[in-house]
Amino acid sequence: MHRRAYFLLERDFQELKENNFKGITAFPVSEDLMEWGANIEGLQNTFWHGLFFQLTINFTSQYNFVPPIVKFLTIPFHPNVDQNTGRACIDFLDDPDKWTTSYTLSSILLALQVMLSNPALENPVNLEAAQMLIKDESLYKQVVLGLFNQPSEMTDNSPEFPKDPDKLTRSTKAISFNDYYKTWSGIATSKATEYYRSPWLEDPNFIVEYYKWKKAELKHPKEWNLK
C-alpha cells in the first residue's frame, strides 16, 4: 500500500513540475513522500494576489483512496480556514464520501488557491470571517490585507521549508480576533457582493474545468475579480 502511495505521489510531483502552475509550488519534506510543504499565492485580479501562504500536506499510505490533511502555516483570516489549527476546510478534504481518486496534488493546490478568493459560506469554520465578509466586504478586505503583515502561523511540529529568496515569508505572533477587529472596525461600509454567496467549489465539475483553464494559461473569469 505504501509503495502505491509513493508511486502516485511521484507521478503527482512530476505533473506539478511539468505544468508549472502560476503561484503554486510544492515539495516533499520527507524521504517517503508522505509529508509535503507548499506555497500558494492568491489568484490574479483578486485582492489575494501578491499574498503568499505556506502550507503542509500530510499523506498516508492509503493515498489516493483517502484525502491528505492540509494545513496553512501562514493562517489567513478566511471562512474556510480554522484560525486555531490552520486546517483547510473543503468538502472533498473533510468528507471521505466526496473524495475521489481523480484528485491529485495539483488539483488539491488549485482548489485551495481558488478557495482563498471564493469562500464557501454555508458552514464556515471561521464564523467571524464569514460574518464580516457577508456584512461588509470592504472591511473584510482591509482586515485580510492588514493582517498579512502579522499573520497567525503554526509553529509546533512544522516542517522546515527550503529557503527560497524569491518567496515572501512573514513571521510574527498570532493576535486575537477581538484585537484586529477593533483595529479595523471603523473602516469601510460596503456590503459583500452576491458572488460570495455562490461557492464555486460546490460544483463537482469546477475543479476539472479550472484545471483545464490553468493548463491553457487563460485569463481568470471576471467573477473572480474582487476589486
All 3 cell numbers of residue 140?
A: 473584510
Torsion of CA 11, 86, 203, 49, to 10 degrees: -90
Torsion of CA 84, 133, 115, 28, to 10 degrees: -30
> Distance between the two ends of the chain, CA-based, in angstroms?
47
Under DSSP, is residue 90 helix (H, G, I), strand (E, B) or coil?
Answer: coil
Query: What's the rounded Cα separation, in Å, for the pair 108 and 93?
Result: 9
Does the active-site annotation cover 28? no
> Which one from 33, 40, 89, 115 is the annotated catalytic residue?
89
* Inter-CA distances, 205 with 191, 198, 208, 217, 226, Å: 29, 15, 5, 19, 23
Catalytic annotation, residues: 89
